[in-house]
Structure 1
Amino acid sequence: MSEPGWVKDAIFWHVFPLGALGAPDTRDDEDPLAGPDGIAHRLPDLIGWLDHLLAIGCNGLLLGPVFSSYSHGYDTLDHFSVDSRLGDEADLIELITACHERGIKVGLDGVFNHVGRGHALVADRLDDPSTTFFEGHSGLVNLDYPAASPLVAEVLTYWSERGVDCWRMDAAYAMNPATWQTILPPVRERFPELYIFGEVIHGDYPAIVAESGFDSVTQYELWKATWSALNDANFYELEHALARHASFLETFIPQTFVSNHDVTRIASRLTDRRHLVHAVALLALVPGTPSIYYGDEDGFTGTKYERLGGDAEIRPQLPASPAELSELGRGLRARYQELFGFRRRHRWLHDAHLEVIELTNTLLALRLTPREEAAAPVYLALNIGDEQARVGDRDVRAHDIAYWADQA
Structure 2
Amino acid sequence: MNKAAVYHRADRSMAYSINSDEMQIRLKTAKNDIHQVTLVHGDPYDWTNDQWNFSQLDMKAAGTDELHDYWEVNISPPYHRLRYGFILSNKKKSVFFGEKNFHPAPPKDIGEYFCMPYMNKADLFQSPEWVHNTIWYQIFPERFANGDASLNPPATIPWGSEDPKRDSFFGGDLQGVIDHLDYLEDLGINGIYFTPLFEASSNHKYDTIDYFEIDQYFGSKETLKELIAECKKRGIKVMLDAVFNHSGFFFPPFQDVLEKGENSRYKDWFHIWDFPVQTTPEPNYDTFAFTYMMPKLNTEHPEVKNYLLEAARYWAREFDIDGWRLDVANEVDQAFWREFRTEVKKINPDLYILGEVWHDSIPWLQGDQFDAVMNYPFTTNALQLIAKRSITVKTFIENMTKVQYMYPSPVNKAAFNLVGSHDTPRILTECDGDEQRVKQVLTLLLSYYGTPCIYYGDEIGLSGGMDPGCRKCMEWDPHKQNSELLNFTKQLIALRKSEPLLSNDGDLSFYNLSDQTVILKRENKQEAILILINLSDKKDAVKVPYSLNKRKTVDLMTGEAHKWKKGKFKLKPQEIKLVKIH
TM-score normalised by structure 1 residue count: 0.88
Match of 1:164 in 2: 321
Higher relative contact order (CA 8 A, sep 6+): 1
Q: Which of residues 268, 273, 277 is equivalent to 1:129?
A: 273
Query: Relative to total residues, which structure has the larger helix share, 1 or 2?
Result: 1
Larger radius of gyration: 2
CA distance in 1, matches of 2:480, 2:510: 36
Shift of 1:82: 0.6
Shift of 1:32: 8.6
Match of 2:576 in 1: 401
Q: Once the two structures are aligned, what percentage of the paired residues are identical?
A: 27
Taking structure 1 as reference, are residues 53 and 146 closer, same or farther at Cα in structure 2, changes over 3 Å only? same
SS in 2 for 1:134: coil
Q: Is the 8 A contact 1:275 1:400 kept in 2?
A: no
SS in 2 for 1:135: coil
Deviates more, 1:154-163 or 1:388-397: 388-397
Match of 2:484 in 1: 331
Taking structure 1 as reference, are residues 44 and 339 closer, same or farther at Cα in structure 2, changes over 3 Å only? same
Which runs of no fewer than 5 residues in structure 1 stay unpaired? Answer: 34-39, 305-310
CA distance in 1, matches of 2:154, 2:294: 20
Match of 1:381 in 2: 532
Shift of 1:28: 7.5
Shift of 1:118: 1.5
Q: Is the 8 A contact 1:14 1:63 kept in 2?
A: yes
CA distance in 1, matches of 2:188, 2:339: 36
Q: Which of residues 8, 11, 19 is equivalent to 2:132?
A: 8
Shift of 1:389: 2.5
Q: Is the 8 A contact 1:106 1:165 kept in 2?
A: yes
CA distance in 1, matches of 2:127, 2:431: 33
Q: Which of residues 283, 297, 306 is equivalent to 1:150?
A: 306
Give the alignment of 1:1-400 within 5 angstroms.
1-21=125-145, 29-31=154-156, 42-71=173-202, 72-126=204-258, 128-129=272-273, 131-147=285-301, 148-161=304-317, 162-202=319-359, 204-210=360-366, 213-230=369-386, 231=388, 232=390, 234-247=392-405, 248=407, 250-252=409-411, 253-271=414-432, 272-304=434-466, 311-319=467-475, 322=476, 324-348=477-501, 349-350=503-504, 352-370=506-524, 375-385=526-536, 386-390=538-542, 391=544, 392-400=567-575
TM-score normalised by structure 2 residue count: 0.63
AA at the equivalent of 1:140: M
CA distance in 2, matches of 1:166, 1:264: 25
Q: Is the 8 A contact 1:41 1:91 kept in 2?
A: no
Shift of 1:103: 1.1
Taking structure 1 as reference, are residues 94 and 276 closer, same or farther at Cα in structure 2, changes over 3 Å only? same
CA distance in 1, matches of 2:228, 2:497: 23
Shift of 1:328: 4.7
Q: Is the 8 A contact 2:393 2:512 kept in 1?
A: no
SS in 1 for 2:247: strand
Match of 1:307 in 2: none
User: What count of residue pairs does the alignment treat as equivalent?
Assistant: 386
Q: Is the 8 A contact 1:149 1:182 kept in 2?
A: no
CA distance in 2, matches of 1:31, 1:84: 14
Shift of 1:41: 8.8
Q: What do residues 161-220 of structure 1 show as CA deviations (whole Å, max 9, x unaligned)? A: 212111111111322334301222122122101011101111x22222227610000010
CA distance in 1, matches of 2:439, 2:408: 24
Q: Is the 8 A contact 1:382 1:402 kept in 2?
A: yes
Q: Is the 8 A contact 1:287 1:352 kept in 2?
A: no
CA distance in 2, matches of 1:18, 1:404: 40
Taking structure 1 as reference, are residues 54 and 237 closer, same or farther at Cα in structure 2, changes over 3 Å only? farther
Q: Is the 8 A contact 1:61 1:104 kept in 2?
A: yes
Taking structure 1 as reference, are residues 257 and 359 closer, same or farther at Cα in structure 2, changes over 3 Å only? farther
Match of 1:37 in 2: none
SS in 2 for 1:116: coil
Deviates more, 1:244-253 or 1:95-104: 244-253
SS in 1 for 2:358: coil
AA at the equivalent of 2:219: G
Q: Is the 8 A contact 1:219 1:256 kept in 2?
A: yes
